[in-house]
Amino acid sequence: METEPEGEVVVIGGGVIGLTTAVVLAERGSRVRVWTREPAERTTSAVAGALWWPYRIAPPAAARAWALRSLDVYEELAARPGRTGVRMAEGVLGETGRDEVAGWAAGRLPGLRASTPEEYGGSGLWARLPLIDMSIHLPWLRERLLAAGGTVERRAVAGLAEPVAPVVVNCTGLDARTLVPDPSVRPVRGQLVVVANPGIRTWTVCADPESGETAYVFPHADRLVLGGTAEEDAWSPEPDPAVAAAIVRRCAVLRPEIAGARVLAHRVGLRPVRDAVRLEREPLPDGRLLVHNYGHGGAGVTVAWGCAEEAAGLVLG
């Protein structure tokens, strides 16, 4: 186990990246406080469709390594789906061939095969991947942190120098745009529709090669999460009724029974996209240490544990 650093660590940000990083640090012996403007249930992470797959994240090689390390953890957590919110679920990655995963993930994903016409109307890849129910997983992460001796405090910060602690870990996602400041972080808006589950058990993800429009269906016990959109530099947190109707229509093409499903909720999340994830140390002039861990785009859940462990290594040395 790494030597405990002097003093404490303040992790700024209470989404999946911040909480997972805090858990890893606390379980490695650090005294950790999480400062978060919003409770986990109201962060962007709570809106995530949360199928394990590296989406809109760079650089690709590092993202894949972080994703594979996170896959190890999610496979373990899937043994207790009711507690952790993680389960292994089967479905189809539309417009995806085995060659697209052969170089990095095929050996870690047993059962990969071409989808059948009954499973998917186009060319797709049948896979068994972690699917995370964020309404369960985020509270579970918080409880795991508290059990390790960490704390969570509701408080907004005006700048990264505000916490008086030897080590500060910046997991602020899109807020890094103003807090660092880092104008290269920008939003990619995603809108979802949650409907009652008419009995669907497998997930589907597809993208129209001409329009670029995506559609995905992620099943949970009592509901389906339908998506989605990827609107560059769009800041509105309000659901657009026309966009919601289009999402339902696209998903109903994949699974016709969705057309009559009762709508339960509309959600919007702003993905914190950056040209590359920023995961690095920044020694401060006063001798304190600032560690950045932000810019994960649409793959925060997918890479959370890999990035958390690397961030912890930067803190603990």
Considering the domain boundaries, does residue 21 fall inside one? yes
Answer whether residue 4 shows pLDDT above 50: no
Domain limits for position 62? 1-85+133-184+276-317
Considering the domain boundaries, does residue 45 fall inside one? yes
CATH number for the domain spanning 170: value is 3.40.50.720
pLDDT bin (cut points 50, 70, 90) of residue 6 is low
Considering the domain boundaries, does residue 153 fall inside one? yes
Considering the domain boundaries, does residue 11 fall inside one? yes
| Cα–Cα separations (whole angstroms), residue 273 to 9, 87, 113, 132, 202 | 26, 27, 31, 21, 28
- pLDDT tens digits for 61-84? 999 999 999 999 999 999 999 999
Asked if residue 48 lies in contact with residue 55, where contact means CB atoms within 8 angstroms, the answer is no
Rounded Cα distance, 307 and 113, in Å? 29
Please tell me the pTM assigned to this model. 0.95
Considering the domain boundaries, does residue 147 fall inside one? yes
Task: Give the chain's domain count.
Answer: 1
- pLDDT tens digits for 126-167? 999 999 999 999 999 999 999 999 999 999 999 999 999 999
Rounded Cα distance, 276 and 88, in Å? 28
Per-residue model confidence (pLDDT) at position 2: 36
Considering the domain boundaries, does residue 143 fall inside one? yes
Q: Which two tokens stand for residue 70?
A: 């996170």
Considering the domain boundaries, does residue 287 fall inside one? yes
Considering the domain boundaries, does residue 23 fall inside one? yes
